[in-house]
């Protein structure tokens, strides 16, 4: 299913999230199962299915990473179950540095400063990837879409690092 069509949005990495939320609420009101309480069983089932589609579409499109994956899936590139790794050696070296920094937090003199520095580093890198990704996803070129897939893989890794950093930060307060 094309969630952009469902929400009457132009397929793009950069979307108006306020408009997305408005359309979500409109669709929810239109297909909510309570509106079909006195309808046939088939109509009730369809309403439940449509509600699920609207909910899935909203959660997919509101998250930039899943939105990017959806755009690629619409172009025939499905990353959801793949195990391909990033082959960019510079990125792999940066990964190793970030991993070492995560391990060093517990042993450093000022863990709060190190955590803040890592958040900044992760956000800066993710933002630069996202800027490049937006343009690539607008293209219909196979090579641009392949490059977009590599950037999405990097963003997935960055999301995992972010979660790990959050876990370490929470442990600092326990």
> Which residue is it, tokens 């509600």?
51
State the DSSP string of 31-72.
H-GGGGTTS-HHHHHHHHHHHHHHHHHHHHHHSHHHHHHHHH
Would you say how long the chain is, in residues? 174
Kindly indicate whether the domain formed by 89-173 is annotated with CATH number 3.30.70.
no
C-alpha triplet 4, 8, 9: angle, nearest 5°: 55
Mind listing the pLDDT tens digit for each residue in 112-148? 999 999 999 999 999 999 999 999 999 889 999 999 9
Mind listing the pLDDT tens digit for each residue in 55-85? 999 999 999 999 999 999 999 998 877 677 7
> Which residue is it, tokens 């963003």?
155
Residues near 104 by beta carbon (within 8 Å), at least 6 away in sequence: 114
Alpha helices in the chain (DSSP H): 3-6, 17-31, 41-62, 64-74, 89-104, 111-138, 142-173
In terms of Cα–Cα distance, which of 56, 5, 9 is closest to 28?
56
CATH code of the domain made up of 3-62: 1.10.287.110
pLDDT for position 152: 94
Please report, rounded to a whole number, the percentage of residues in the chain having pLDDT higher than 90: 77
Does 39 score more than 90 pLDDT? no
Label residue 44 by pLDDT band (50, 70, 90).
confident
Categorise residue 89: left if φ over 0, alpha if ψ from -120 to 50, beta otherwise.
Answer: alpha
* Termini Cα distance of the chain: 44
Going from N- to C-terminal start, the domains of the chain cover 3-62, 89-173
Other C-beta atoms lying within 10 Å of the C-beta of residue 41: 8
Tokens of 43: 């109509």
pLDDT for position 130: 93
């Amino acid at each position: 299913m094309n969630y952009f069509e469902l929400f009457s949005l132009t397929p793009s990495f950069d979307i108006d999230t306020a408009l997305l939320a408005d359309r979500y609420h409109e669709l929810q009101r239109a297909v909510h199962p309570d509106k079909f309480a006195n309808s046939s069983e088939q109509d009730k089932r369809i309403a439940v299915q449509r509600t699920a589609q609207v909910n899935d579409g909203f959660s997919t499109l509101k998250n930039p990473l899943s939105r990017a994956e959806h755009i690629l899936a619409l172009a025939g590139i499905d990353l959801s179950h793949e195990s391909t790794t990033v082959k960019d050696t510079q990125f792999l070296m940066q990964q190793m540095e970030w991993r070492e920094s995560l391990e060093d937090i517990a042993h450093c003199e000022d863990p709060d400063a190190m955590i803040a520095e890592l958040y900044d580093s992760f956000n800066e890198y993710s933002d630069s990837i996202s800027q490049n990704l937006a343009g690539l996803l607008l293209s219909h070129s196979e090579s641009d879409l392949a490059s977009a897939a590599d950037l999405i893989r990097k963003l997935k890794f960055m999301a995992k690092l972010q979660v790990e950093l959050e876990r370490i930060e929470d442990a600092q307060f326990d």
